[in-house]
């Protein structure tokens, strides 16, 4: 059968891709995409460990709450991005250098 390590490797690779997106991209929406990848890798780890070692469903509960928090974070983050675009006419992260416009 499929072992736990293969899921861990997939999750590790997703995490690396998320980190690379966050560091290398300068577009605020692209950085939010990277954060979604990171959250997915964490939730995948929770569910995999829940099946292979814990023998109960607490990992599924954690994955559900991660999905809920990610949805809330995406809503607030994209609202901030849209407001920032209305003020600065840009979504470049280096334009976001002051708290007060």
User: Looking only at residues 47 through 86 of this chain, which bind other proteins when binding is defined by CB under 8 A?
Assistant: 47-48, 50-52, 55, 57-58, 60-61, 63-65, 67-76, 78-83, 85-86
Three-state DSSP class for residue 92: strand
Question: Exposed, middle or buried, 42 (CB in 10 Å: 0-12/13-18/19+)?
Answer: middle
- Least separation, in Å, of the C-beta of 56 and other proteins? 9
Candidate residues 94, 98, 99, 100; the one interacting with other proteins per rule CB under 8 A: 94
Query: Considering all CA atoms of the chain, what is the largest pairwise distance in Å, rounded to the nearest integer?
Result: 57
Residues 4-23 that bind other proteins (CB under 8 A): 4-10, 12-14, 16-21, 23
């Amino acid at each position: 059968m499929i072992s736990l390590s293969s899921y861990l490797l997939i999750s590790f690779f997703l995490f690396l891709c998320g980190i690379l997106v966050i560091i290398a991209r300068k577009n605020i929406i692209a950085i939010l995409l990277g954060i979604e990848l990171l959250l997915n890798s964490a939730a995948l780890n929770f569910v995999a460990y829940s099946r292979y070692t814990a023998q109960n469903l607490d990992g599924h509960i954690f994955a559900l709450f991660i999905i809920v928090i990610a949805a809330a974070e995406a809503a607030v983050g994209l609202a901030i991005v849209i407001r920032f675009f209305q003020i600065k006419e840009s979504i470049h992260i280096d334009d976001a250098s002051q708290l007060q416009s």
